[in-house]
């Protein structure tokens, strides 16, 4: 099945990344455990495995050093989108708010744009906890 093939590929990627340690080829030197966790989580979201996906995405966010706050902002935007896909506006608003605040603090327009692009998807949830605050913050 497609799901099984993806899970095998993710396991193999994690195994090869761990085996390579710091001796990675140049084409994948930028890939860290954090990147792999979030990308794996994103793949699992596409397969509908939301519980494991959110666990991996959270793990990836925690593994990122402060020097990679821009990446963290992007990961948070992805998390917000995934919660919206699940029709869970409260955690989506929390992740989007965190991403937008981070983007503004560090001057990351791409992160801010990702959240701006999500705002119309919050419109049906204006009474959900955190959504009005997010919309107000975005308008400011």
Give residue-wise pLDDT tens across range 46-100.
Answer: 888 888 888 888 888 888 888 888 888 988 998 899 899 889 999 999 999 999 9
pLDDT given at position 78:
86
Residue 134, C-beta contacts closer than 8 angstroms, at least 6 positions apart = 93, 96, 97, 100, 119, 122
For the segment 21-30, what is each residue's pLDDT rounded down to a tens digit? 677 777 777 7
B/e letters for 8-18, b = 16+ CB within 10 Å, e = fewer, are eebeebeeebe
For the segment 109-133, what is each residue's pLDDT rounded down to a tens digit? 989 999 999 999 999 999 999 999 9
């Amino acid at each position: 099945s497609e799901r099984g093939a993806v899970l095998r590929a993710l396991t193999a990627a994690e195994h090869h990344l761990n085996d390579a340690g710091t001796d990675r080829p140049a084409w994948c030197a930028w890939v860290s455990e954090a990147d792999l966790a979030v990308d794996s989580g994103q793949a699992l979201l596409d397969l509908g495995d939301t519980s494991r996906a959110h666990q991996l995405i959270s793990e990836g966010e925690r593994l990122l050093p402060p020097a990679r706050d821009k990446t963290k902002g992007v990961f948070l935007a992805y998390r917000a989108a995934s919660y919206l896909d699940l029709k869970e506006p409260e955690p989506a608003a929390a992740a989007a708010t965190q991403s937008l605040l981070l983007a503004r603090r560090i001057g990351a327009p791409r992160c801010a744009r990702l959240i701006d692009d999500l705002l119309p998807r919050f419109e049906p949830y204006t009474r959900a906890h955190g959504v009005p605050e997010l919309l107000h913050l975005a308008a400011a």
